Amino acid sequence: MDVDGLEKEVDSTDLVALKELEKKRAENKLKWKENFAKQKKQRIAELYSELFFTKKAELNCIQKPSRYLFSDPELTFEGSNLTYVIKYKPKGGADFEGTLYINAEDFAVTRLDFSNVKSLFKLKLLGFSYNENLKSGRMIFSKNTNDQYALSYLQMTEGSLIGVDRPLKFIEKNKFVKGRRKQNEISFRLDLAMRSTDQYEL
């Protein structure tokens, strides 16, 4: 990051020092842009790994259909295409419910809506807790120039709840006193919760 406050002062009459300062600023700006682009690329790659047909995907209603209950298909039109609409919900321990839109001509998934029905990950340890309690969104696929289906739109919302609920005690000890060395003690209970929600569109 280019933080002007951290730069050393330069004499405005020293042309060499001014050129050096401008060069450093340009380098910092370029580094910041490269890091920003790198982070965005990584996040886009992570979003692509969430697609229902990838190995890492948590959404497994098509890869593991035995974990879900599917409704009878209803017919509707999406644009000029005849489409089957099938609702799914978990059977047993599955995590998601939603709706599948399947092209009636070639049986390709053209749209998939999903939302979680339970927490995806929970952790509670020594008064600290973490709960991934929200994941919902929509994936839309359309034919590209090669007549193959590809992702045309992805919207995803992720949310988590982080909490701290535990007593804390601070004891000040005096090393130079014989016997009980405890001098001051402060004890209190810490009870904090933070909710975080991120929304992505691609």
DSSP 169-197: EEEEE-TTSSS--EEEEEEEEEEEEEEEE
For residues 126 and 166, is the Cβ–Cβ distance under 8 A?
yes
Per-domain boundaries in the chain: 12-48, 65-201
Q: Are 155 and 137 in contact (CB under 8 A)?
A: yes
The residue type at 59 = L
**Residue 2 half-sphere exposure, CB side, CA atoms within 13 Å?**
13
pTM for this predicted structure: 0.70
Alpha-carbon distance of 165 to 17, in angstroms, equals 54
- Average confidence score pLDDT of the chain: 85
86, 71 Cβ separation under 8 angstroms: yes
pLDDT tens for each residue of 16-59? 777 787 888 888 888 888 888 899 899 899 888 888 888 878 88
pLDDT in tens, 152-189: 999 999 999 999 998 888 777 766 666 666 667 788 88
What DSSP string runs through 84-101? EEEEEEESSS--EEEEEE
- Phi-psi map region of 137: left, alpha, beta (phi>0 left; psi -120 to 50 alpha): left
- In terms of pLDDT, which residue wins out, 145 or 71? 71
